[in-house]
């Protein structure tokens, strides 16, 4: 499964791993907004708005909305390895997974 934010791939993992152990803060926020994962009657939301094509921040596109962002994020985001879901994030969440890909099965 590939997760995109503002047209940019921010994470890619096999389905089970993505749902069990998301590594990008956007993926985590999306999953926490699923009704079946809700911890209260009010579903959480992500503050702010998705940047448009012509008003993108200079660094990480999710940085203005991310609760994990630091000053490092305003200058760019580092692509993590397979064990961290190929997350495009300086501060990935969770623990490294196996990094196995389902692409062979889909081909």
Give tens-digit pLDDT for 55-73.
898 899 999 999 999 999 9
Domain boundaries, the chain: 2-106
Name which of 2-6, 16-20, 43-47, 77-81 the model is least confident about.
Answer: 43-47
Q: For 49-55, what is the mean pLDDT?
A: 91
Distance CA 89, CA 22 (A): 12
pLDDT of residue 98: 52
- Number of C-alpha atoms within 13 angstroms, CB side, residue 37? 10
Residue 100 scores a pLDDT above 80 = no
Q: Going by C-beta distance under 8 Å and a sequence separation of 6 or more, which residues neighbour residue 64?
A: 48, 51, 57
pLDDT of residue 37: 84
Q: How many residues does the chain have?
A: 107
């Amino acid at each position: 499964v590939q997760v995109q934010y503002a047209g940019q791939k921010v994470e890619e993992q096999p389905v089970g791993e993505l749902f069990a152990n998301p590594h990008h803060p956007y993926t985590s926020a999306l999953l926490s907004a699923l009704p079946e994962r809700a911890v209260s009657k009010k579903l959480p939301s992500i503050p702010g708005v998705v940047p448009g094509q012509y008003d993108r921040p200079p660094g990480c596109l999710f940085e203005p909305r991310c609760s994990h962002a630091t000053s490092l994020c305003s200058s760019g985001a580092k692509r993590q390895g397979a064990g961290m879901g190929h997350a495009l994030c300086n501060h990935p969440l969770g623990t490294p997974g196996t990094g196995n890909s389902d692409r062979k099965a889909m081909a």
